[in-house]
C-alpha cells in the first residue's frame, strides 16, 4: 500500500484550462437565493456609497444610467461548482463609481435590497475587475438574477456578485457578510478553491 495517495494535496485539474478546479461547465443559468426575490421599481432604485465617515454618495436609476457604460464578456464561477463561460453583460465599472470618492478604506461591505451582504476588498473592485450590471445577454437583468442591478466580480466566486445591489459601505477592516458569517471563505478565489473557511 502506498503511503501517499496519488491525489493527496493536489487540486483536481480540469481538462479545460478556463475551468477552475472542481468546477463543471453549465449552459443554464441556475438561480440560487437566500430569500424572497425583491421587486424594486426603477423610480425607487438607488445605489449609495457610504464612506468610513458616514458620508453618502447616491445615484438614482437615471443618474446611474447616465454614467459611462461598458459591455463585456466574462466567465462566472459559482461555489456550488457550476461555471458559465462567455457571459455578456452591460453596466458601470466600479472604477467609475469610485472616481470622485475619497476613502482610505481597504475593504467594502456590499449591501442589497432584501438584506444580503458580502465583503469584497477595494482592490478587487478596481482596475476593470468589477461592475454594477443591469443587462445580461442584451436583455434587462431579470429579478431572479439580481435585476434591476447586481454587482459582478467575475474573478471571485459568484456569491460575491451580490444580486439586487443597492450600496457599498467602505470599511477599514475586513468583516464577514451573509455567507461568510456562516462558513464561507472571506475572499473566495475560485482558482484557489476558497469555498469554505480554512480552504
Partner 1 sequence: MSSEVDGNALGGDLAEIFAVDLTGAAVTCGGCKTVSAVAALLVWGPAPGLVARCPECEDVVLRLVRAPGQAWLDLRGAVSVRIPLPAPE
| Residue 9 three-state SS | coil
Using the minimum distance from each CB to partner 1, give the nearer residue, 91 or 188: 188
Residue 87 burial by CB count (10 A; 0-12/13-18/19+): exposed, middle or buried?
A: middle
The 8 Å CB, 24+ separation contacts for 187-190 are 187/121, 187/156, 188/79, 188/156, 188/157, 188/159, 188/160, 189/155, 189/156, 189/157, 190/20, 190/23, 190/77, 190/79, 190/83, 190/155, 190/156, 190/157
Using the minimum distance from each CB to partner 1, give the nearer residue, 91 or 146: 146
Q: Which of 128, 137, 181, 191 binds partner 1 (CB under 8 A)?
A: 181
Minimum distance from residue 35 beta carbon to partner 1 (Å)? 6
Number of residues that bind partner 1 (CB under 8 A): 16
Window contacting partner 1 (CB under 8 A); options: 41-49, 62-70, 124-132, 182-190: 182-190
Window contacting partner 1 (CB under 8 A); options: 98-106, 121-129, 133-141, 181-189: 181-189
Distance, in Å, from the CA atom of 194 to the CA atom of 50, rounded to the nearest integer, reads: 28
Q: Which residue has the cell 421599481?
A: 41
Minimum distance from residue 37 beta carbon to partner 1 (Å)? 10
Using the minimum distance from each CB to partner 1, give the nearer residue, 98 or 116: 116
**Residues 36-75, mask of contacts with partner 1 (x by CB under 8 A):** x---------------------------------------
Q: Which of 48, 106, 183, 192 binds partner 1 (CB under 8 A)?
A: 183
Report residue 117: phi and psi, to 5°: -140, 155
Distance, in Å, from the CA atom of 90 to the CA atom of 132, rounded to the nearest integer, reads: 8
Minimum distance from residue 36 beta carbon to partner 1 (Å)? 6
Interface with partner 1 (CB under 8 A): 32-36, 79-80, 115, 159, 179, 181-184, 195-196
Amino acid at each position: 500500500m502506498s503511503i501517499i495517495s496519488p491525489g493527496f494535496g493536489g487540486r483536481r485539474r480540469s481538462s479545460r484550462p478556463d475551468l477552475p478546479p472542481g468546477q463543471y461547465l453549465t449552459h443554464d443559468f441556475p438561480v440560487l437565493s437566500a430569500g424572497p426575490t425583491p421587486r424594486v421599481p426603477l423610480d425607487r432604485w438607488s445605489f449609495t456609497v457610504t464612506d468610513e465617515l458616514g458620508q453618502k454618495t447616491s445615484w438614482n436609476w437615471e443618474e446611474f444610467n447616465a454614467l459611462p457604460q461598458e459591455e463585456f464578456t466574462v466567465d462566472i464561477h459559482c461555489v456550488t461548482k457550476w461555471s458559465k463561460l462567455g457571459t455578456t453583460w452591460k453596466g458601470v465599472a466600479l472604477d467609475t463609481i469610485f472616481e470622485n470618492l475619497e476613502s482610505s478604506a481597504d475593504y467594502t461591505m456590499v449591501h442589497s435590497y432584501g438584506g444580503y451582504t458580502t465583503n469584497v476588498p477595494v482592490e478587487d473592485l478596481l482596475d476593470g475587475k468589477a461592475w454594477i450590471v443591469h443587462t445580461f445577454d442584451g436583455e434587462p437583468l431579470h429579478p431572479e438574477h439580481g435585476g434591476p442591478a447586481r454587482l459582478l466580480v467575475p474573478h471571485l466566486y459568484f456569491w460575491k456578485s451580490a444580486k439586487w445591489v443597492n450600496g457599498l459601505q467602505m470599511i477599514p477592516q475586513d468583516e464577514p457578510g451573509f455567507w461568510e458569517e456562516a462558513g464561507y471563505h472571506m475572499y473566495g478565489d475560485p482558482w484557489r478553491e476558497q469555498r469554505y473557511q480554512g480552504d
